[in-house]
Structure 1
């Protein structure tokens, strides 16, 4: 006899974490929230930003996956066997690809420091890059003092909302690198196989990230995500005292998100939705596209027809980078909160020269 599929209740499960957030990424709708802007110590959730900085550098051609970095003797003395590790030997050389695998899958503290020193020459140099990227992403409740999240007397802090923003940028800006390094249940590095501690893996359909974290200072945390039929949910929980509570409640929360809420697709990733005026650029306008699949999320069984409008502070100022969020798609649905979905620039718009400035000035005179 065929086993019946498990019944997932649409009633909100009990979540005892002091900090929590569940978002439907395609719509941006918050399905569950508890102190999502409260600052807390992230532990190894810090490593999401460490990988993001590396991904940015790789995409810019400033870092190669086959590039090798050395475990310096002083780094070995400080970090050998400290917390989670990929067991890098003294004076060993490791590729960026293996360092990223160790950082993402087995939460290697030693790998983070070797990567940081290799990229920036020092840990402070690398954390300055982490904080710069946080500012670019608008992470206002975040500061990094370490690339691995090891206890530093509270000098590193984040918020659930910022972690969700970072993780969505990680996935949407670097989809190929994300699939290459995230979602692995285990990794074998240096002949040693270690398991990923993500409690969603092997239990939650479509789970492919993101990162667990634990220190005595931080407790047990998780940034978790799963995708089903093109629909992605993103979850952040923090401050659990016991790993079993984190595991059971995070699985229940994300299942509730899929069962109790339904998504109505609006636009596929890359769909052209309009144009925005540009000032000071080689071009006077830029296309607006969906940076990922966009949808409207409603309680299961509810149907409604939304009205859509585009909003941006214009004219936009050049330079503009392809993929940069420059506008918002406002979705208004009767009886539901207004949703604001991101729209990205379809192409680069470099800053214009003298001719472009003269053109803009002349057109302004005639009201165009």
Structure 2
């Protein structure tokens, strides 16, 4: 088939994008267990959990793995280790292994391709070949890239995730994630790199080498405010989706996994995201820097610090309702020095009637250094009389 014919066919696919029906979104709500055995929704504006089911069960993410590859590239773009107009060649071994294998951006043997196009191919058409060219070009080898992926996961607190490939191709179970960990990755993606996220995610299609392809994202262009992120599928794990959207200043992140078919996954994702965006509202309860309480310090150059909010804190509640709310500051004290002013040394627990319990971090109003010998002696004596 000629490239011209393939282009026409793909453009026909792109033109078929339509919004979800009003009836479908009117029936919005969390998925049933049959629709999605694993489901999680987080309101990033407040940090609250709006819905949760089996969110710590490990599952195979398949192409959702590419979100970590994209995030890692964003980190490198941000600190100058990578540039969008940098070009990488397509090595023979990658062409032989990945040409036409699964989702592809139709890279040709030996061609030179920009990081910008590679990222567009990865984020929009889930390019397996593009993922491998980016990984090897940016780090020297696929193994180096994967090692960095796992270090990045640890840095993000993704304690129950591990990556064995850059593109999520089946690897005998070495790659696994949890819904909770994926929301941590999504939070970092949109908060640390908002401009790059906007540039590369949420596009309806991508054309490269004369071949246009549609994005398989089930919510972009179908749910108002939806702007990503990534689908995944394996025979073993079923169909999954890591998604996000913003409306009226509120951004939510959602995960569904283990769906039995693409149509169920897509329909469920749309209803779930619409429910999260339209069914709740946020109310500011604490301003950045507000004092919540004080805490004693052990072995520090001060004996006590104030616990404050690191940012404006919001409460998410069902729209139009006034449920019972309990806020509780929790920390293991005295807090051990040293720590920085932006270290999370306590948490504010949020209990909203009818929603899963949540918590957000609190910080101290100042950095605290470890006390010297004289200060420790003084603090010890002073503690006897406090």
The answer to whether the superposition gives a TM-score over 0.5 is yes
Q: Secondary structure at 2:316's aligned position in 1?
A: strand
Rounded Cα–Cα distance in structure 2 between residues aligned with 1:343 and 1:55: 27
Rounded Cα–Cα distance in structure 2 between residues aligned with 1:41 and 1:12: 22
Rounded Cα–Cα distance in structure 1 between residues aligned with 2:373 and 2:75: 36
> Once the 2 structures are TM-superposed, how far is the Cα of residue 14 of structure 1 from its aligned partner?
3.8
Say which of 240, 253, 274 aligns to 2:259. 240
Q: Is the 8 A contact 1:267 1:290 kept in 2?
A: no
Q: Which residue of 1 aligns with 2:268?
A: 249
Pairing 1:191–2:210 present: yes
Q: Deviations over 1:276-327 (max 9, x none)?
A: 989899xx98996646x64212233332575656555634545x597x6565
Q: Is the 8 A contact 1:13 1:256 kept in 2?
A: no
Q: How does 1:121-136 map to 2 (within 5 A)?
A: 121-136=140-155
Q: Deviations over 1:164-216 (max 9, x none)?
A: 11111211122222122111111223333221110101110100111111233
Q: Secondary structure at 1:65's aligned position in 2?
A: coil
Q: How does 1:347-362 map to 2 (within 5 A)?
A: 360-362=372-374
Between 112-121 and 12-21, report the one with greater CA deviation: 12-21
Rounded Cα–Cα distance in structure 1 between residues aligned with 2:212 and 2:341: 41
Say which of 198, 211, 217 aligns to 1:179. 198
Q: Is the 8 A contact 2:300 2:336 kept in 1?
A: no
Q: Which residue of 2 aligns with 1:145?
A: 164
Q: Is the 8 A contact 2:326 2:350 kept in 1?
A: yes
> Once the 2 structures are TM-superposed, how far is the Cα of residue 145 of structure 1 from its aligned partner?
0.5
Rounded Cα–Cα distance in structure 1 between residues aligned with 2:115 and 2:67: 15
Q: Deviations over 1:213-249 (max 9, x none)?
A: 1233332211111111111121111122221111111
Distance 1:120 1:12, change over 3 A: closer
Rounded Cα–Cα distance in structure 2 between residues aligned with 1:172 and 1:140: 20
Rounded Cα–Cα distance in structure 1 between residues aligned with 2:299 and 2:123: 41
Between 22-31 and 129-138, report the one with greater CA deviation: 22-31
Distance 1:362 1:209, change over 3 A: farther
> Once the 2 structures are TM-superposed, how far is the Cα of residue 345 of structure 1 from its aligned partner?
9.0
Pairing 1:53–2:65 present: no
* TM-score normalised by length of structure 1: 0.82
Say which of 17, 21, 26 aligns to 2:40. 21
Q: Secondary structure at 1:211's aligned position in 2?
A: strand
Rounded Cα–Cα distance in structure 1 between residues aligned with 2:203 and 2:74: 17
How many residue pairs match? The answer is 351
Q: Is the 8 A contact 1:278 1:285 kept in 2?
A: no
Unaligned runs of 5+ in 2: 1-21
Unaligned runs of 5+ in 1: none
Q: Which residue of 2 aligns with 1:170?
A: 189
Q: Is the 8 A contact 2:29 2:274 kept in 1?
A: no
Rounded Cα–Cα distance in structure 1 between residues aligned with 2:298 and 2:251: 32
* TM-score normalised by length of structure 2: 0.79
Q: Is the 8 A contact 1:23 1:235 kept in 2?
A: yes
Q: Is the 8 A contact 1:9 1:259 kept in 2?
A: no
Q: Secondary structure at 1:45's aligned position in 2?
A: helix
